[in-house]
Structure formats: structure tokens, C-alpha cells
Chains A and B, each alone.
Chain A
Amino acid sequence: MNRPGAARELPLAGAHPPPRAPAVAGPLRTRRRRWNPARIGVYAFLLGAALFFLLPLYVMIVTSLKPMDEIRQGGIFALPHALTFEPWRQAWSGVCTGAACEGIRSGFRNSVAIAIPSTILPILLGAINGYALSFWRPRGAELLFGILLAGAFVPVQVMIYPLVRVLALAGIFGSLPAIVLVHVVFGLPLMTLLFRNYYRNVPQELFHAARIDGGGFWRIFFQVMLPMSLPIVVVAAIMQVTGVWNDYILGLVFAGRDNLPMTVQLNNVINTTTGTRLYNVNMAATILTALLPLALYFVSGRWFVRGIAAGAVKG
């Protein structure tokens, strides 16, 4: 990431006034920086923080590779002596999630089945919304969008029970269509925001040229705007897939027993087991559940950050 302007040197800490003139904001020196105590402090803090952030990941992985006797002996930070992948196998195909004991692979399948339509539909609708809001601007649309956006901040508990009743009345409560519909309802604000901000940066002149050429609403959308939208579609897809995959509460309430996503099954496995807790299996299951979004993140980090920035910069 290019950055204009000067780099700064932190001055010495105020408690020990330096014998020379106080350090001031320095010029940009390419990679040959002075090693003063402040700079060492910066690196120390960053490295310490990095350790804090990486610790749980390390423990998660390490625990999942140990046999239970090793874990019982203690030493959560120790590397495994007798490395084993048995906990992983058990987590994937052996653990009991409620009634069945087939592992969380069924959860994986369910999460995939939920995630695909719950990503495609909100993206499509969000793109149409963003397009209509940026170029056509019917009266009252901005107000509706404001309400939509406000809804994204409201805790879902405020809306959840009426949604349950409506879906039950419609006869689809506790099914795949229900959970997908709910994800559309709650995914629309962010998706619309992303596309609206993106289309705001497309010059109006392009839209005008297409209107002069005779393009109508749908033709301009599908033939001019959507083809131009690949970057934001990627960002939106990453954000939506991550959000849907990591969702717990909506899956818990709306998916129904046969479609429980991985997060729900994971919690069932770990927190509702009677008898001895198999920490290694638990950690393996946790890794398996977190694997997809983490992999997505590590592969596409830049797009992820772009998505956060695009979503957080409102209008």
C-alpha cells in the first residue's frame, strides 16, 4: 500500500528527557531507520501483540494433534509428543451432534448448501439496489435505504420472533428456503451498501451515454454496470460467505434439525456432551468449522480489508 508523506519517529518516552534536542517527526528514510528506544518499543509491542493473537490458533492446532493422555498431563502450550490425526477423523465423521453420531461433516454439507444461495441472492439483490439507488434514485429510495441500513445495527432478537411466526404460517419454517430467506433479509443492508458506494464512483456520464443509446433499466444493469462490477462482487462474496458461514443464531433458529450449519453443530458437540470432554476432538472440530473462512481470508486478505473499508465508509 503506497503511502504519501513522511514516516515518523516516535520520540523518547517523556519520563526520560533526552540529553539532546527532542526528537521530532522525521523525514521518510527508505528502510534505513534509526534504532532508538522508541522504535524498539514499537517492534516489541507489535511482536507481543502478534504472539497474543497467534496464541489461540497455535493452541487450537497443537491440542487437536495430541492424544487425550498427553492433554491430561497438562501443558497446553507444549508441542505434541505423539502426533496423531485421530481427533480430526473423529471430529469429521465420529462425534455425536444431537441424535446422530456422524461427525460434523453433515454440518459442513449443510453450511455449504446454505452458503451458496445465501451468497448469490443477496449479492444480486444488493447490486440491483445499489444500481437503482445510484443512478435512478426514485423518490423515497434513499429513505428506505436508510431504514435498511439502520436495521443492520439492530440486534436480531428484535425481529426474530415475528419472522418465526411468519415463516411458520407460510409453512416453511425450519427448512433450507427459510434459512436462505432469512440470510437474504439480514444480508441485504451490507450488500446494498457495498454496491451503492461502488456505483457512486462510476461516472454518471456513462449512465447518460447508455440512456442516450436507448438503454432501459435492466439492459443498462446487465450489459453495462454488472460487467464492470467484478471487483466489488468479489469483495461482497467474501464478506457474505464469511458472514453466512460464521452465523450461529439464525442457523440455530431457522434452519431446522436437518439443515443445522456447522457452527451450531460445533456448539452442540462441545457444550452439550455428557461424560468426558475430548478436548482434542473439540479443537479439531473447531478448526474444521473455522477452516473455510480462515482459508478464504488468508487467500484473499487484501479483498477482505477492502470490504471492511468499503462497508465502513458510509456514503
Chain B
Amino acid sequence: MANVTLRSLNIALGGKPIIRDLDLHVEPGEFLVLLGPSGCGKSTLLHSIAGLVDTASGAIEIGGRDMTGADPSERGIGMVFQSYALYPTMTVEDNMSFGLRIAGMPKAEIRRRVRETAGMLQLDALLARKPGQLSGGQRQRVAIGRALVRQARVLLFDEPLSNLDAKLRAELRRELKLLHHRLGSTMIYVTHDQVEAMTLASRIVVMRGGEVQQTGSPLEVYERPANRFVAGFLGAPAMGFVEGALDAAGVFRAEGLLLRPAPGCMMDVAARPALLGVRAEHVRLLGAGEADAAAPMHGTVALVEPMGSHQVVWIRCGGASLAALVHDPAAAAALAPGQPLRFAIDAARVSLFDPASGARL
């Protein structure tokens, strides 16, 4: 496994700047996920690491060596594409061995490696087939196998699971995680799916508009988002936002809502407008007779979404819309749209943002 370092990287496509002055360091053996919406530049970044896209300026180092101008085949990388990109006229075995044959490796060694990788990915029975005869999941395994067989130090994944149906996606996701445990290679993975990011990553890089919004472990990025964009991007249902203001005592006030966020939730206390961010799992509906130490808040039921394992209750509170998770089906069934209810928010787990810049307070 090797590390990857990007220094002051600038990439432009067709005259338009896509990546601006980006610095990133990937530790050996990390599973780094580039997460962001379409058009944020994550794929472009990955392709530039692979050497498939020119950089306008900046440096790319792989394994400590400068690879900024190097040919893709010389960078010690393997890549898995969204559309699998398998050679349609070659068998699975030939697909996987193509790169090794070009490199002039002895046939026996090639065969050994292909068999070994095929075994790892349960492709043994499919070696003689052509891609057209495989299912989507099998094709993706072959694509992964093709990247693995090169014994590359860095593996790149460009939204590899996006073309698969939900069930297959979950299955392959777990296989990828197991693969990472087993091989320990450095993996850089691009996706727009935050579930993939959360489950697979050892570190997440959230991107938007060509710039890094936040890097950190999944838990960090989830619990302490650096700005409103990251906060809203991770988590389902999305984090609820309430516009209001903090007073000098550190109490957050908004229409129909009053809360004293725990001291760890903000940098310093000052009177200023603020945006409160609350995740659904930190909103608790209060039962009829339940008293609550902190001032309970009032709202009305807007909508109830049954999710099977839990229910999502959408609450209208003042001008804001908040979600709450309910795990008791009976309690949720008793709720009707328009019904008033009381709820409490875990004050230690909220986030506060500046309404103008979106940055975390």
C-alpha cells in the first residue's frame, strides 16, 4: 500500500476551473471516500490521481514519488469504473490478465495471479465467459478483480456501485469492506451516496464546487459537521434546521422553540443570529403525562413516514420543519396530521451554524 499526496492541485476542464488549490494526504492503508453531489469535482479529482486528466498546476505524489506527469499504467494504481468498462470481446480471464500481458509478465505468474484473485472474488466458475454473459454484480466483481490483479498500491473506485440495484449494492458494499480488511490496500472511493461513505470509509472528504468542505472520520463528519452543507448532506432523514438567534447567555430562541445548547456545541457564546441543526434521532416525542426537565417544545404533526424498522414523524414547529424518529409503532399510529404534540431535543447533540456563511459556530 502506498500513500497519496496532493499539493495545491488545480484542474480545469474546457477552460472552467473544477478543482481549486486542493491539498490532500491519504495515509497508507486508508479507505478514503470522496463524497459530494454531482458536479462537485470528486470524479475529476480521482481521474487526475489516475493520470487520466491533466492538471493545470500542482503536484501528485504516489508512494512518495512524483507522478504528476506519469502515464496511468506507471502509477501503480488500479481503477474500478462505474460502468465496469470490461473489454466486451474478451473472456473474464483475458479481461483480468490484459494489463499483466502487456507488462510482459510470464504466463505462469499471470495465470496464478488471475486464479488467486478470481478465487477471492468467487469468479472461478466465470473465467471463460464474456462480459455479455454476466450479471451486473458479476461484472463489477470482474472489474474489481482486474484492478486487484495488478497488485496495485492504490486502488481507485469511481462510483462502482451506482449501476447496481439496491440489494446488490448493499451486498457488494460489504464485500468491499471485507476486501479492504483483508488486503489493507490504500483505497480512494468516489460516491454521492452518504450511506456508502459512512459504512466504508475510514476517512471521509466532503466536497462541493471543487473545494473540500470537511475531512474526518465518518463519526466526526456526522456528529460535528463543519458547515451547513456537510450537516445537510449526511444523515437520513436530513438534519433539520431552525432559524433563530442566540442571546448573550447562550440560549437559542426561535419561533415556538427554546433551547440551551450544551457548551460543547459552539465555540464561544455571544448574541448573534444562528441556525440550529437537529438530527431526527435527537428529537424525542414526549408522552401525555411525561414531564421534562428542560422546557418541552410544542409543534404539530405534519406527516408520518413508516420506514419499517422505525417511523419518521415530521413536526411543524413555528416556521421550521423537524423530523423525529419513533420506534414504537403503536405510538406512531396514534398520531394524526395536525395533531399537537410536545417534544424534547437532546441539547448536547445539536449543531449551531452561522446563517450567512453556513460555518459551524
A residues with a Cβ closer than 8 A to B are 203, 205-206, 208-215, 219, 223-224, 227-228
Contacts and interface: CB of A to CB of B under 8 A. Distances in A.
Contact of A214 (B73, B86, B88, B89): B73
Contacts of B153: none
A298 B357 CA distance: 69
Given A224-B87, A227-B89, A208 B50 contact: yes
Nearest to A213: B99
Nearest to A209: B85
A228 B146 CA distance: 19
B78 A212 contact: yes
Contacts, number: 56
Interface string B22-61: 0000000000000000000000000100101000000000
A222 B86 CA distance: 16
A219 B78 CA distance: 19
Contacts of A205: 81-83, 85
Nearest to A226: B89
Contact of A212 (B73, B83, B88, B89): B73
Given A208-B50, A228-B89, A215 B83 contact: no
B334 interface: no
Interface in B93-119: 98-99, 102-103
B77 interface: yes
A203 B99 CA distance: 19
A208 B50 CA distance: 9
A203 B83 contact: yes
Contact of B79 (A212, A214, A224, A228): A212
A213 B89 contact: no
Contacts of A212: 50, 52, 72-73, 77-79, 99
B99 to A, nearest CB: 3
Please give me the 4 A-B residue pairs with the lowest Cβ-Cβ distance, nearest first: A213-B99, A214-B73, A227-B89, A205-B85
Given A212-B50, A214-B102, A206 B87 contact: yes
Contact of B146 (A209, A219, A224): A209
A210 B354 CA distance: 48
A205 B146 CA distance: 14
A210 B50 CA distance: 12
Contacts of A227: 89
A214 B52 contact: no
A206 B73 contact: no
A213 B82 CA distance: 17
A25 B146 CA distance: 54
Contact of B98 (A208, A213, A228): A213
Contacts of B99: 212-214
B146 to A, nearest CB: 7
Contacts of B71: 211
Interface string B135-174: 0000000000010001000000000000000000000000
A158 to B, nearest CB: 36
A208 B85 contact: yes
Contacts of B89: 224, 227-228
A209 B102 contact: no
Nearest to B147: A212
A214 B52 CA distance: 12
A208 B79 contact: yes
A161 B83 CA distance: 51
A172 B146 CA distance: 52
Interface string B290-318: 00000000000000000000000000000
A211 B87 contact: no
A227 B95 CA distance: 14
A288 B42 CA distance: 63
A210 B81 CA distance: 12
B71, B98, B103: most-surrounded residue (chain A CB, <10 A): B98
Contacts of B150: 213
Contact of B102 (A206, A208, A219): A219
Nearest to B94: A223
Contacts of B83: 203, 205
Contacts of B86: 206, 209
Nearest to A207: B85
A213 B52 CA distance: 12
Contacts of B81: 205, 208-209
A198 to B, nearest CB: 14
B74 to A, nearest CB: 8
A206, A208, A212: most-surrounded residue (chain B CB, <10 A): A212
B102 A203 contact: no
A2 B102 CA distance: 43
A227 to B, nearest CB: 4
A66 B103 CA distance: 70
B85 A211 contact: no
B129 to A, nearest CB: 16
Nearest to B99: A213
Interface string B63-77: 000000001110001
B72 A211 contact: yes
B85 A203 contact: yes
A68 to B, nearest CB: 57
Given A205-B82, A210-B87, A212-B50, 13 more contacts: A205-B83, A205-B85, A206-B86, A206-B87, A208-B72, A208-B85, A209-B146, A211-B71, A213-B73, A214-B103, A219-B102, A223-B98, A227-B89
B90 to A, nearest CB: 8
A275 B329 CA distance: 104
A147 to B, nearest CB: 23
A215 B77 CA distance: 14
